[in-house]
Structure formats: C-alpha cells, structure tokens
Amino acid sequence: VVYLVVFHLSFVMFVWSYWKTIFTSPASPSNEFSLSKADKEQYEKEERPESQQEILRRAAKDLPIYTTTASRAIRYCDRCQLIKPDRCHHCSACDICVLKMDHHCPWVNNCVGFSNYKFFLLFLMYSLLYCLFVAATVLQYFIKFWTNELPDTHAKFHVLFLFFVAAMFFISILSLFSYHCWLVGKNRSTIETFRAPTFRNGPDKNGFSLGCSKNLREVFGDEKKYWLLPIFTSLGDGCNFPTRLVIMDPEQLTVSSQNEPAKSSGANQSFPTRPLSESQNRLLASDSQWVESGPEEENVKSGNLNCNTSDDS
C-alpha cells in the first residue's frame, strides 16, 4: 500500500509540475515599458545612437530600471519596441521579451522565466525523485540478473533496460537540479551567470542577491506550505527587483533630496526611491525574519507597480 501511494504521488506531482512548466505562458513587460507613439516615431527617425539614447533615457526616467548594457546604454528591444526591465531578455525562439528569463528549454518547448521558474524547479525535483524511486525498486531484480537468480525470461532484459534508463536520467537531472539550486541561492539566472548585469557602478553578478533565505523566498514565496506545490507563489511582479548595489546618479540624488530623501542602510550609501511592489518591499523591510540580513541591504519605499510578462536580452 505504501509503495503504491508513494508511486502515484510522485507520478502525479511530476506530471503536474511538467504540465505547468510547459503551459504557463512566459511573462512579458507591461505597456508602461513601451515607448509612446510620439517617442517611437522620433526614435525611428533618429539616425544617431546618441539621440536615440536620449529619447530612451527620457522615457525610462520614471521606470524602475537599475541595469544598463555593457556600454552603459538603456536596454531596448528593437523587436518588441520596448525598454527592457531589469533581468528581462528577448527570446529568439519565442520572439518575445521574457521577464527574468533564465533560458529557453527545448524539453518543455517553452521559455523558463519569472512566470514558471518555480514550476521548472519542482519539475526537476520530482523527476529526480521519480527516477530514484524507479531505480531503487528495480535494484533488487537488477542484482538478481547479474547473479543469475532471475528466471530466464524476456522480462529480465526489460528490468536491465529500466534500471539503466532510470539511473542515467537520475544522474543527468541531479546535475541540472543542483546547478539551479545554486542559482536560486545566489539569486541569479543562467544568463546572468555567463553575463553579469551592469549597474551604474559597474557589472556585478551578485547585484540582485539578498542572502540565501531571501533569495529562496523570492522564488518560492512566503508561505512554506505551498513551496512543494506547482502553484505560483513567487514574490514581486517580475519587472523590478530589490537590489543592494544600486547607487543613484548625482542628478537623481538632487531630485530625491528635494522631494523625498532616499533611505540609507549603511554609512554614506544612498538608495533610490523608485517604487517596488509590496511583496518586494517585504523582502527588504522584514530584516528581523532573516538570518542573512546585513547592513548593506537596502530599505526602499514601496509603491504599486503592476507588470505582466516578456523580454529581450
């Protein structure tokens, strides 16, 4: 009875997670990241990159964008014709901009990003457990096969094949799952591992890391009872993310000091007052809940900013 319960439970969770990973649409930026009709026409008429960047800077001044290109230009997608939010990249396979894009996975025929990254992790975990369960239950017959204790029937070759397939998939999935667990702990995407995001103070691969516990909850949410279920519980809206390494430009500091003073969590370290969603602000404000919280992590005023899905690299 226990065998059947574990088998069916692992299979159901595996199929459910796989289904959610495949059929959850990649999240794209909301309309506020698109240029206005006038700005778009002016951008297309301009031939000089400097003039185009000036148009993009003017359009992005009120957007929660902290990262730039390696050449310190505003990240803009010519295909989707929008200013890309932080951690957003354009998928050439899906031909859309995907929020917090990790990679395009051919095994699920979908982009893995903000909207389904939790489902992808659970899919890997339940696949791993399912392969381990199959290999463990077949192991006794596999041993009998090599000791010639298994009856001489055609079924013994099926046992051999099943064990090798389960073991091979277990080893390959284990390496991939371990890698993504490391990424979650560092709050990085696969793209950011190979190309560190560029902030105003330069590239930094740990720019979005808030400590292991906060990084984990950013993906899986605050309610631990939902962590192992393939239902969406990730924090934030996918368009802006808390970061501890953002240093404002002198012009922004002047403006913010006139309107609303920027809060500081460390000596001589100022942080922008751009809005963050309530869930993201919760990551920054509830320092008493986290062991990893340090003086370098910022407290930012919260606001309401609703986003949908998509990006470009």
DSSP codes, 149-173 = -S-SSTHHHHHHHHHHHHHHHHHHH
Measured at the CA of 184, the angle between CA 183 and CA 189, to 5 degrees, comes to 50
Q: What sign does the dihedral 11-13-108-24 (CA atoms) show?
A: positive
Greatest Cα pair distance in the chain: 86
Three-state DSSP class for 105? strand
Positive or negative torsion for Cα 201, 30, 233, 89: negative
Is 105 a known active-site residue?
A: yes
Paired with 269 in beta bridges are: 266
Query: Concatenated DSSP letters for 182-239?
Result: HHHHHT--HHHHHSPPEETTEE-TTTT---HHHHHHHHH-S-GGGTTSSS---SS-SS
Residue 243: alpha-carbon gap to chain centroid = 14
Strands 96-98 and 89-91 turn out to be antiparallel
Catalytic residue among 94, 105, 131, 239: 105
Among candidate residues 197, 27, 21, the one with its CA nearest the CA of residue 100: 27
Q: How many helices (H) and strands (E) does the chain have?
A: 9, 8
| Residues designated as active site | 105
